A and B are shown apart, each in its own frame.
Chain A
Amino acid sequence: MNLRYLVSRVLSLIPMLLVILIVTFSIIRVLPGDPARLQMGPLAPEAGVQKLREEMKLDRPLPEQFIEYVKHVLKGDFGRSWVTQNTVKQDLKRKLPVTLELVLLGVFTMVIVFIPLGCITASKKGGLVTRTLKKIASIYGLLAGSFPDFWLGLMLIFVFFTKLKWLPGPEGILGILTTPPSHITGMYLFDSIVTRNFTTLKEALLHYILPVFTLSFVYGAIIYKYTWSGMSKALRDDYTLYAEALGLPKWKVFFYAFRNALPPVVIMTANQISYLLGGAVLIESVFNIDGIGQYAVQSIVSSDYPPIQAFVLIAATFTMLSYLLGDIINFLADPRIRIRGRNE
């Protein structure tokens, strides 16, 4: 096994992280005005701002300021939001798990719906059901990428909440009357399963249906397209013909083709995870979900800089990690990468 590839891949995160830190460090310094004042907000008393100036070492050269900043970040200290009056850390502790759960549910749905759909519609033959599915899927692949996610969310709310009254409206993850599960991870579904709070679980699930559907519908299109084109090619390739000629069982032939079509799909899925986070920003605003996306938007609109810095840092780190995960899965699944060490 080519472990060197894996190690160097993980180590390559360090310079990237450093650059991301430089970017978030710069956000507050490229703006006109006093960084400490920007950080504390317009309402803070002058004495407090003065104290922060000393803490940020603003009278020292930039490299020293940067080291100070990195030290704070490593301790989990992102400063204080002047809008919510909490430290960013407190806010994140409550909001980050919600977004994470939303994104994970989105990814999960995309993977279990669109990869099988791509496989089925790529098959050569098929009865009436498969053919109808092919038609629907090709229209979906054509259109879904151009749907604005926030608009689709609104339309779904109109249809399923306002008109049909089947699903709850845009009121976050839990209705006002539902008691939230006790805080373990902060993820509603996970916590209510662990605490066996099944009424809350049902409530949260119902509230998650529309946002998760919106996200996976819009961002799953590309995964579907990649799976479809990869599988179409693999199922018509010579080795598939050979496997069929040998009389291997159908599922085995399919499995071999799938394994070959998988790597680009994995890369694309990892890619979409980062898009999902961008989508979550909009979707959280639409569905009033109290996650970091909505937090970021509110901070941006009110020029509340510490949360913005934290959000950019988290988003970029999250993207990096999802790419890493994609590479690791490919590393484990694709023997060619294990030997050559690179996916060319």
Chain B
Amino acid sequence: MNKNQFKLKMGVYRVAINRILRKLKTTEIIALSSTIIIVLLAVTGPFFAPYSAVKANPSQRLIPPNSEYIFGTDENGIDIFSRVLHAPKIDVYIAVTATFWSVLVGAPIGVLVGFFEGGRHRLKSFLASLILRLCDIIQSFPVFVFALTLVAISKPSATNIIYAVAFINIPVFVRLVRGEVISLRERPYADAAKIIGNSDLGICFKHILINALSPVIVQISVVIGFSVLITAGLSFVGAGVQPPTPELGAMISGGAKYMILGQWWPSFFPGVFLCITVFSFATTGEALKHLLEPPTVISEQENLSL
């Protein structure tokens, strides 16, 4: 590759990146980059941690932030900065896995519900509306209370939190995908797919599901942020990840009793990190929405052709 070709190639990339950046607000760019950093931390965080995140060191209890321990130490003498670096491995892992499961279960159900709802096939149509009512009922429980109960009747552990959070988010994806599919199933390509001999299920999963995915991708990010918040809340009240595992909610809870004594750092730093995490994922959802929106020129053309 000669110099000019290389320059040309870089120019193309730069234009592409500029085009992406121009579509986003400053806050969205910040959120997008911090989400990437947090996800990277979930994998590499422990390598950066200067101290152990679980080994107690009673002689170093509750040291305020200083040059050695930049976030201070907690009531067991563990470096808070190290614990915060370890936390995404737990919190983000739980939230991502839970969201993954709710999409994996919710999206296919949503496609089927949307496709068969109000259709000619009586039984399938009935089942579809039954599932929708079921979603109504699940959603009529306050989310946090529901998650709390689910974790309580199993035992508090990371796996059970994943199941509980996944379960409460399934209706979100069922509804979202269903809403998309109801309009997609009327599109000409769905008819075309039928005419060339696809079965109903084939149309659903080969043709419609793919096209219904873009709002799902946006929602995934929002739900991950929300799930981090729920996970931390559950652990905060003692119905989630148990100490000494470095989990943000449990860390805040551990520092809570020192707060009134004026030792603010054990709760403060994990909380700030929790805020950043939730904000980043939620706003990344917004950013993705803007990126995935088709450019206005195309949608105008579409309007003309229809």
Contacts and interface: CB of A to CB of B under 8 A. Distances in A.
A30 B150 CA distance: 11
Contact of B237 (A20, A147, A282, A316): A282
Interface in A122-174: 142-143, 145-148, 150-151, 154-155, 157-158, 161-163, 169-170
A29 to B, nearest CB: 10
B167 interface: no
Contact of A320 (B140, B256, B271, B279): B140
Contacts of A31: 153
A16 interface: yes
Nearest to A315: B145
A108 B171 CA distance: 30
Nearest to B155: A303
Contact of B144 (A19, A281, A303): A281
A145 B236 contact: no
Considering residues A142, A148, A279, A316, which has the most beta carbons from chain B within 10 angstroms of its beta carbon? A148
Interface in B236-281: 236-239, 249, 252, 255-256, 259-262, 264, 267-268, 271, 274-275, 278-279
Interface residues of A, number: 46
Contacts of A20: 137, 140-141
A154 B252 contact: yes
A285 B282 CA distance: 26
B153 A27 contact: yes
A145 B237 contact: no
A145 B262 CA distance: 27
B143 interface: yes
Interface in A296-339: 296-297, 300-301, 303, 308, 311-312, 315-316, 319-320, 323
Q: Is the interface of A mostly helix, strand, loop or mixed?
A: helix
A151 B145 contact: no
Interface stretch (A189-197, A240-248, A270-278): A270-278
Interface in B162-197: none
Interface stretch (B56-64, B72-80, B225-233): B225-233
A315 B237 CA distance: 18
B145 A311 contact: yes
A282 B149 CA distance: 14
A163 B141 CA distance: 39
Contacts, number: 126
A158 B259 contact: yes
Interface in B201-241: 225, 229, 232-233, 236-239
Given A282-B236, A308-B152, A151 B271 contact: yes
B143 A150 contact: no
B236 A278 contact: no
Given A150-B252, A282-B236, A143 B279 contact: yes
B267 A154 contact: yes
Contact of B233 (A23, A150, A296, A315): A150
A286 interface: yes
A319 B259 CA distance: 33
A316 B233 CA distance: 19
Nearest to B253: A150
B144 A279 contact: yes
A158 B239 CA distance: 25
A299 to B, nearest CB: 8
B294 interface: no
Contacts of A319: 140-142
Contacts of B268: 155
B299 interface: no
Interface string B127-153: 000000000110011111110110111
Contact of B27 (A30, A142, A157): A142
Interface of A: 16, 19-20, 23, 27, 30-31, 142-143, 145-148, 150-151, 154-155, 157-158, 161-163, 169-170, 274-275, 277-279, 281-282, 285-286, 296-297, 300-301, 303, 308, 311-312, 315-316, 319-320, 323
16 contacts: A16-B136, A143-B279, A146-B282, A148-B271, A150-B233, A150-B249, A151-B274, A151-B275, A158-B262, A163-B262, A275-B143, A278-B142, A296-B145, A297-B237, A315-B142, A323-B140
